[in-house]
Structure 1
Amino acid sequence: MYVISNRAAPRNGVADSITSIVKNLNAAQLDSSAEVVISPPALYLTLTRQLADPKIGVAAQNVFDKPNGAFTGEISVEQLRDTKIDWAVIGHSERRVILKETDEFIARKVRAAVEGGVSVIFCIGETLEEREANKTIEVVTRQLNAAAKELSKEQWAKVVIAYEPVWAIGTGKVATTEQAQEVHAAIRKWLGEAISADAQDSVRVIYGGSVSEKNCRELAKQPDVDGFLVGGASLKPAFVDIVNARI
């Protein structure tokens, strides 16, 4: 089983377009072994949950690391659960780069979500400068270690790791299958050494970075690529082809 996450970014998502996307998914013949999770802007989470087939998960694009309280503008884990939202995307590169969220803050949000009963798509990845400096494994390991300090071994069962090279997001560039597999294999090795043998076998590691219907099948053949975190391509009918990449 693997996860495909459809992330409709705020600049793209309004009620009409989200309704169209969800209706298209509801009507499509989807790979029964694929776990599909769609992630609309926060304003449309409840609409999406109401429209989507129960077999399709719905994820918030962010969540706060504190419980309900005087945190104007933030969304708590309890509020997600109250509206039947059972996933959250945490640590996306846009929040790391644009909003300057630290590894430690992101790790605390992962812990808050998991402890509150919300599954997490935990995003990690390197910038172009870090890639060119041969620091990719160092960077993703640092990001993973921050989460390891916050989570118990058992809590990793609620986490899906999404490797998204920052240089390949929204640029049309994509890591080669060899590059993606190399990093995914390193993440898998880290899980075995830092968490447990069970985590190494069971935690899903998905790839994000200009995934499209053109490259998804080759990527899906890689032994350590368990699925995809999809951006712009998720807004098109061809998203169904990505869901069905392993058929």
Structure 2
Amino acid sequence: MPLHPLIRSPRRLFLLAASHPSAMLLAAQLLSLLLYPAMDATRDGRVVFGAVALVVVPLTVWVVRSSRSVNWVAWALAIPAIVLSLTAIALDRPGLVAGSAALESALYFYAAAALIRYMLDDHRVSVDELFAAAATFTLLAWGFAYAFLVCEALYPGSFTGMVEPERPRRWIELLFLSFATLSGTGNGDILPIGAQARALVMLEQFAGVGYIAAVVGRVIGLTLIREQRRRDR
């Protein structure tokens, strides 16, 4: 059976990926979302997967914004985070995970800011910018989830849940809380009970409403204007 042209030609596959870097990032994040439950049961599994996932973000930011400052800032956050993650595994130092999570949170927020700037640069909505709108949402969700992880490490008992309320919340639970908060759907399974945790959740609620109103609303509006102009021709 003949192979698909994209499979036969790595150069075509590379060009397709380069033309839609936001789609690459979104696909990587959604794939990790499916894999996290299987790895969340062990600390090492989540840390290793997190370190690998960190490589995707700065590379995607570099593709979207071919700016030296963006590239170096992203790597300046990513490299120490990866080193801390691997050191935590090699030396069995769980305390280093909090430091890695703090850098990961900053990296995801920085990448989200870079994608928002990319989407607001002009008044034309490309296919990649539509993917960027979705990818930015997931970047924000990941960024706040890592911030929750740091909060839980610094202030034990910041979050509770219906199941085993006394134990620290796992990564997938904090990520679930982040998605629920950012999307405005809310949930009753995982709750912030510490003052610092509640402050972070309120910031995420504000960020979610602002992102949907300002960025997503603009992208949808420009897309509708483009379609209307096509009909008028």
- Length-normalised TM-score, structure 2: 0.27
With CA pairs under 8 Å and 6+ residues apart, which has the higher RCO, 1 or 2? 1
Per residue, is there more strand in 1 or in 2?
1
- Length-normalised TM-score, structure 1: 0.25
State the structure with more CA Rg.
2
